[in-house]
Structure formats: C-alpha cells, structure tokens
Amino acid sequence: MVATPIGNLGDITLRALEVLRGVDVVAAEDTRDSGRLLNHYGIAARLVALHEHNERNAGAKIVALLGEGKSVALISDAGTPAISDPGAHLVAAVRAAGFKAVPLPGANAAIAALSAAGLAEMHFLFYGFLPHSGSERRRQLETLKDTPHLLVFYESPHRILACVADLQAVLGGARRITFARELTKLYETIHACALEEALAWLEADPNQQKGEFVLLVSGAEVVKEEGVGAAARHILEILLAELPLKQAVKLAVEISGEKKNALYELALALKKGD
Ligand code: SAM
C-alpha cells in the first residue's frame, strides 16, 4: 500500500520509489494517471487497474499473482490508498489468503490539512466525503451535530457551495471552519472563518471554489451542566442530616469534587427546605 503525492510530485518517499521500481506489478486506480506519475520518476512498471468498480475481481487476480510469488504495489490517484480511496477490500482479501499487506506511509490530505491548520483541538473525527445528495448530506450531518470533536471532511469543487451551505444550516453559523484547498499545489489556500461567513468568502472569489478541499469544522461545544450533579446532591443531603452546614459542605466538596460555591448554595437551599 504505497502512498503517492497529493499534488506536489516531490512528496513521495524514498521507500515508495524503491518499492514501485522493484515490484512485479503496480495496481493503480487510474492506470493513465498513474502511468504519468511513474513516468515522472522514470519507473517502467506493469500496471493493472484496481478501482472501486472492479476491486473484488481485480483483488482476486492480485491474490493469484501473490500466490505465484509475484510482488504487487497498490497506489491510488493521490495520497494514501484505502483512505477515501479503493484498497480496503484488496487488503482484506490479501490477508485472508495468508499474505502480508504492508503500509508505506506518505502523503494524506486530511493529515496535511490538520498539520497546517493551527487548531488546538486534541481529537478529530475523519469523515471523508459526505453524501452527494443534499437531503442525505443533511441527514448525515444531523448525526454528527453533537460530536464534540473536530470534523474532517473531503469535498470536491462541484459540491463545495452546497456542502458549506448545509454545514451552516445543520451545525449552525457559530462554528469555525478551516478550508484547506489545493494543498501542496500552486494555489494552496488555508483559510479559517465562522461557518456563517464561509459562503460569502467562497462566493467573493470564484477561484476559491476550484480545486480539492479538506474542510475542518470545529466540534460541538460541550455544555457543562449548571449546578450540582445528582450524586453530589445525594452526598450533601446525607452529610447535612448529620453535620453542621459548613462541615457538610466541606466534606461534600472533598468527596464529590464539585464547586464549593455551588454546594454551599445548595446546602442553604436544602436547609431552608426549598
Ligand atoms: N487517498 C487520499 C488521501 O490520502 O488523502 C484521498 C483521496 S479522495 C478520492 C480525494 C479527496 O481528497 C479530494 O476530493 C479532496 O477532498 C482531498 N484532497 C486530495 N488532494 C488534496 C489536496 N491537494 N488539497 C486538498 N484536498 C485534497
């Protein structure tokens, strides 16, 4: 599983070049595109097609090649195979047949975007492509609405406006979006704004609607429940029945970890019988 560049042809590893030169067969999503790529590096390889429409059949042939003792490299049109690209079924078939599937890590659009976006969010959810149909897309977004983690989407220029409109409609205008467009290419752009400003930004310059996109959308804000949790209240009630108010509050704070002020207010209210 050999990662190839996502734009800049320099973004290929030494190991990838060595493997692509050395294998008996290179399986590629688009043999014409990959032919150009291999040509660029002066690699003459025997190419076979493996794309989403023939992955199972082509996979069986590749397993047969491995059975004959041949070596095969899989590349996709760009980036890391099997990441929003064909490859997963092939790997499963290769493993099931008792052969090894070896990753050769390299370029990946989502990771490139995350590394240069300057976002401090610790966790992210890689979603990849949302559905093409508007209603299906909005339905999927509803399921992601409360996710507290940064959301990472792939999007093509054909659907960027509709997709951003739906992101705003379903997730709300206050969330931040980072556009990571045409990474590693001439018109590379990384732009962050509120979702409510995003459509206007895209529409102000049609050039910004072209090319390939990674969209990073901040996660749902976690609303910390106001007041005291049920467990802390229960502890406080027990302590108040036995101890003076101040002492009960002090112990309840130690046991529950809740804020002293909140427990003190609650203790006063309980004493008053509210
Ligand atoms: N396997 C690839 C990877 O490892 O990132 C992704 C392949 S997926 C079919 C193609 C999508 O990845 C594009 O529609 C776009 O969302 C994203 N992408 C690929 N290259 C990109 C680039 N140079 N800049 C921004 N996004 C890119």
DSSP letter for each residue of 35-85: HHHHHHTT----EEE--TTTHHHHHHHHHHHHHTT--EEEE-SSBSTTSSS
Ranges 167-171, 219-223, 251-255: which has the least confidence: 219-223
pLDDT confidence tier of residue 225, bands split at 50, 70 and 90:
low
200, HSE (Cβ side, Cα atoms, 13 Å): 6
Give me the pLDDT at residue 224, please: 58
pLDDT for position 168: 98
Asked if pLDDT for residue 226 goes beyond 80, the answer is no
Would you state the pLDDT for residue 274?
Answer: 59
Dump pLDDT digits (tens) for 63-101: 999 999 999 999 999 999 999 999 999 999 999 999 999
For residue 178 and ligand 1, the question of a CB distance below 6 A is answered with: no
Please work out whether the CB of residue 6 comes within 6 Å of at least one atom of ligand 1. Answer: yes
Ligand 1 atom at minimum distance from 81 CA = 1
Q: Is the CB of 154 under 6 A from ligand 1?
A: yes
Average pLDDT, stretch 125-150? 97
| 212 Cα to the center of ligand 1, angstroms | 6
User: Which is the closest atom of ligand 1 to the Cα of 113?
Assistant: 25
Q: Which value, to the nearest 10 degrees, does the dihedral of the CA atoms of residues 105, 106, 112, 116 take?
A: 100
> Residue 5 — very low, low, confident or very high, per pLDDT cuts 50/70/90?
very high
* 202 C-alpha to ligand 1 centroid (Å): 19
Give pLDDT, residue 149: 96
Question: pLDDT, tens digit, for every residue of 191-215?
Answer: 999 999 999 999 999 999 999 999 9
d(CA 267, ligand 1 centre) in Å: 57
Question: Does the beta carbon of 54 sit less than 6 angstroms from any atom of ligand 1?
Answer: no
Q: Give the model's pLDDT for residue 32.
A: 92
Q: Which H helix or E strand runs over 115?
A: helix 109-117
- What band does 258 get if pLDDT is binned at 50, 70 and 90? confident
Cα 122 to averaged position of ligand 1 atoms, centre (Å): 22
Confidence at residue 51, expressed as pLDDT on a 0 to 100 scale: 93
What is the C-alpha separation between 267 and 90, in angstroms, rounded? Answer: 63
For the stretch 149-169, pLDDT in tens is 999 999 999 999 999 999 999
Mean pLDDT for 93-119 is 97
> Which residues neighbour 73 within 8 Å (Cβ) at sequence distance 6 or greater?
2, 19, 20, 23, 25, 26, 27, 45
**pLDDT at residue 137 greater than cutoff 70:** yes
In the chain, what percentage of residues exceed pLDDT 70? Answer: 98
Average pLDDT over residues 246-274: 88
Asked whether 108 lines ligand 1 (CB < 6 A), one says: yes
Q: Determine the distance separating the centroid of ligand 1 and the alpha carbon of 109, expressed in angstroms.
A: 5
Tell me how far the alpha carbon of residue 162 lies from the centroid of ligand 1, in angstroms.
18
Q: Is residue 85 in contact with ligand 1, taking CB distance under 6 Å?
A: yes
The reported pLDDT for the residue numbered 179 is 98
Ligand 1 atom nearest the C-alpha of 153 is: 16
**Residue 228: per-residue pLDDT:** 79
β-strand 25-28 against 176-181: which pairing, if any?
unpaired
Distance 78 CA to ligand 1 centre (A): 7
Beta-bridge mates of residue 27: 48, 74
